[in-house]
Amino acid sequence: MSAVIDDHTQEHDHGPAGGITRWLLTTNHKDIGTMYLIFSFSMFLLGGTFAMVIRAELFYPGLQIVEPEFFNQMTTMHGLVMVFGAVMPAFVGLANWMIPLMIGAPDMALPRMNNWSFWLLPCAFLILVSTLFMSGGGPNFGWTFYAPLSTTYGPPSTTFFIFAIHIMGVSSIMGAINVIATVLNLRAPGMTLMKMPLFVWTWLITAFLLIAVMPVLAGVVTMMLMDINFGTSFFDASGGGDPVLFQHVFWFFGHPEVYIMILPAFGAVSQIIPAFSRKRLFGYASMVYATGAIALLSFLVWAHHMFTVGIPVAGQLFFMYATMLIAVPTGVKVFNWVATMFRGALTFEAPMLFAIAFVILFTIGGFSGLMLAISPADFQYHDTYFVVAHFHYVLVPGAIFGIFASAYYWLPKWTGYMYDESLAKAHFWMSFIGMNLAFFPMHFLGLAGMPRRIPDYALQFADFNMISSIGAFMFGATQILFLLIVVKCARGGVAAAAKPWEGAEGLEWTVPSPAPYHTFTTPPVVE
Amino acid sequence: MPTQQSYYVPAQSKWPIIATVGLGTTLYGAAMIMVNSTQGDSTAVSWLVFAVGSLIMAYMLFGWFGTVIKESRSGLYSSQMDRSFRWGMSWFIFSEVMFFGAFFGALFYARVFAVPWLGGEGDRGSSNMLWEGFQATWPLLANPDPEAYPSPSAIIGPWGLPLVNTILLVTSSLTVTLAHHGMKQGNRRKLKIWLAATIVLALAFLFFQVEEYVHAYTELGLTLTSGIYGTTFFMLTGFHGVHVFLGTLMLTIMFIRIHKGHFSAEQHFGFEAASWYWHFVDVVWLGLFIFVYVI
């Protein structure tokens, strides 16, 4: 047993290694979390650039900047990069940094696998982005890659796209297994499940969703691969298959996937709102159960994405009502956040601003989701800009504002310095105005009948499109400001206390700022 | 409530980054092979990339697992670490279950909805107009468009080789459990005999599976390209076969490790993980036997 003791003392000593090997070979959850966050932000800028191309083309009616074929590649790559490259890795980065700190663990449960999970992502996105330069161009069938657009009619690079998705899936599954093992096995003594911070709870449930549905995504792209290269007929009716099968399998993954992108944001906001309201979170237990309910329901609603494809009426009714049922646990959450703020001693630092905007704007996205859930009405909205408005309202002020709120909330813990509050407020207001300008008019465009994924449109849509583009440019440019704020904060400034926020609670605030390279090598005791 | 004494956090490791390069290179090579051969280009370079990637992967697997075994044998792992491995393996198997779930789902969808609708049944029978006179049957022995997807002349019946394979695999689940009992009793002889028996049964299963495939391809015209029956048949049994192969590999490695004197009656999670995986493969087969062959 002496080996154990020797190694244990050694463990305290070694700090970060120097140079590039620190990042390539690291097993440290903080290093890996940082890499995830940096990678996520780079992908956010890349996916944002694609969005700028789209909005520039749509600024005026008519074709002026890009070819329609390239436009299709832009909409596809924008979606793929944002979903798999920006939002998901950002939350995994937050999980890496914060979960061990919040539950008093020395690191993630399986640190080497953690490193592999991260480095697979740059590899996958290298392959994905390289398809843009292949003959025939990159994926051009939308981020949902419906068959037969992606199989019979897809470009040759589709096979590379499929393997890129496989690598992302491997990365996500291993990341999720790591989170579950960490949360279930590495909690400090006394940290019972129902004492866990909500961010940890929501991530535990998110990890379960990831392990349940990423293999299904792997399955559907494998079916595509076989149809394209090996002559199978999963999605070809002339061999007895069915293109609609693709949509069923894809959305069985796809609907839980949207909760994968929002549940960790729910968790983060549930940390931040109590901190700046100087009150305990209202209805902790109901928040946990609501999160679980949302996760379970997410497996029963997938076909609401396919009402117009021609599914039996009984199926439409089932999926319509099941979808509406999700409003109940989501409502529980929204009311709990509002009740937490009620009669609190509120202050409005940047994390809180983003969190409040999250509650309001995510709810708007939820309401348009309810409208889309109504099957007969969806026949009008399907594949219009109304859908684009809906999911951008849940993803931008939902997932992405949740990430910004988390970043500002925990930046002092990461860097040891306070960020520049006035610049951060400017970042918030410009993002807030920019995104509403960009996405609110899309509701009107969609209701008036403008279809999504087209490079040109009828003249009556011109005004709203121009407003939308101006908002998008504003939102996009503002994110450079965020980069400046973070770089400035990392380089210095006012030193942050161990607990820089008066009302914040949790184990992460018991360690110094910046958090030492190794924390909780001996677990704290939670009473 | 988990208790912590000293959870082993490994120092820097080169294996994950090697694994990334290896996996990326292998899959990039695989994609190159597929795209180039579809377009009629030379695939020599593609195969080279694929081979280099595979070699890196093999090197990584030996190295990474070797490191873990060495750490485990030098007593670095506490019982808490053991629990992390258990959670990790359980959830990995769950992810595999969901992967097979996607293909079972495709099979059920084709049988229950897609093919009957093509045959004119129900609300969605309009797709029948595509190929008038198409008869929906399962197994589908006459495809809607036999020019694009030549129909198979017959399918594999359940009561020949598949039944033999079912018996082999169920028995092997039993023998691996007997081996586990041997491990727990500290009876190495019992352990070795029953584990060897398991591996022999596994190899027999694989042999018969290959024979069945040869029979299907050469005599029945049942292939990957023979429509939705062949598609689901080969994808489900094929992925299962790959998993049996991997499981056999794991058990073989465990056999070698046992001969080297690894594991104790109390600590043998490596062996347990391999046997969990083996039971999982067995359960998937039972699903296959019922839904692909019998019903």
Mean pLDDT per 10-residue run, chain B (295 residues)?
65 95 97 94 95 98 95 90 95 98 97 91 74 89 93 93 97 97 95 97 97 96 95 97 97 96 93 97 97 93
> Among B77, B95, B126, where does a domain finish?
B77
User: Could you give the CA distance from residue B159 to residue A517 in angstroms, rounded to a whole number?
Assistant: 62
Q: pLDDT tens digits for A155-199?
A: 999 999 999 999 999 999 999 999 999 999 999 999 999 999 999
Alpha carbon of A191: minimum distance to chain B alpha carbons (Å): 8
Backbone angles phi, psi at A106, to 5 degrees: -70, -25
Do B88 and B178 share a domain, yes or no?
Answer: yes
Residue B46's domain spans which residues? Answer: 1-77
Strand partners, A451: A384
Do B119 and B134 share a domain, yes or no?
Answer: yes
Question: Residue B92's domain is classified under what CATH number?
Answer: 1.20.120.80
Residues A251 and A302: beta-carbon distance below 8 Å:
yes
Q: Report pTM.
A: 0.95
> Among B77, B93, B116, where does a domain finish?
B77
Nearest to A180 among B87, B103, B117 (CB): B87
Do B50 and B195 share a domain, yes or no?
Answer: no
Do B45 and B138 share a domain, yes or no?
Answer: no
Do B176 and B228 share a domain, yes or no?
Answer: yes
Q: Name the residue in chain A with its Cα closest to that of B27.
A: A163
The pLDDT value recorded for residue A14 is 61
The answer to whether residue B91 neighbours chain A at the CB level (below 8 Å) is yes
Listed residue (A335, A437, A339, A324) closest to A377, CA to CA:
A324
Determine which of A185, A191, A306 to mutate to test the interface with B (most B C-beta atoms within 10 Å).
A185
The pLDDT value recorded for residue B124 is 63
Q: Which of residues 235-254 of B touch A (CB under 8 A)?
A: 235
CB burial of A109-133 (b: ≥16 within 10 Å; e: otherwise) equals bbbbbbbbbbbbbbbbbebbbebee
Strand partners, A384: A451
Q: Tell me which chain A residues have a C-beta less than 8 angstroms from the C-beta of B23.
A: 120, 123, 167, 170
The pLDDT value recorded for residue B123 is 64
> Among B34, B49, B77, where does a domain finish?
B77
Determine which of B231, B269, B284 to mutate to test the interface with A (most A C-beta atoms within 10 Å).
B231
Residue segments in chain A with a per-residue pLDDT below the cut of 50: 1-13
Q: Count interface pairs A-B at CB distance under 8 A.
A: 256
From the CB of residue B39, how many other CB atoms can be counted at a distance below 10 Å? Answer: 11
Fold category of A24-510 in CATH? Cytochrome C Oxidase; Chain A (1.20.210)
Give the number of domains in chain B. 2
The pLDDT value recorded for residue B227 is 95
Tokens representing A373?
């859930």
* ipTM for this prediction: 0.95
The pLDDT value recorded for residue B127 is 74
List, as own/partner pairs, every contact residues B180-188 make where C-beta atoms lie below 8 angstroms and the sequence separation is at least 24, other chains included.
B180/B271, B180/B272, B180/B275, B183/B263, B183/B265, B183/B268, B183/B271, B184/B265, B185/B265, B186/B264, B186/B265, B188/B258
The pLDDT value recorded for residue B8 is 86
Domain assignments of chain A as residue spans, ordered by start: 24-510
The answer to whether residue B140 neighbours chain A at the CB level (below 8 Å) is yes
The pLDDT value recorded for residue A270 is 97
Do B156 and B289 share a domain, yes or no?
Answer: yes
Active site positions of A, annotated: 78, 107, 143, 171-172, 255, 257, 259, 270, 304-305, 330, 333, 452
* Cβ–Cβ gap A120/B23 under 8 Å: yes
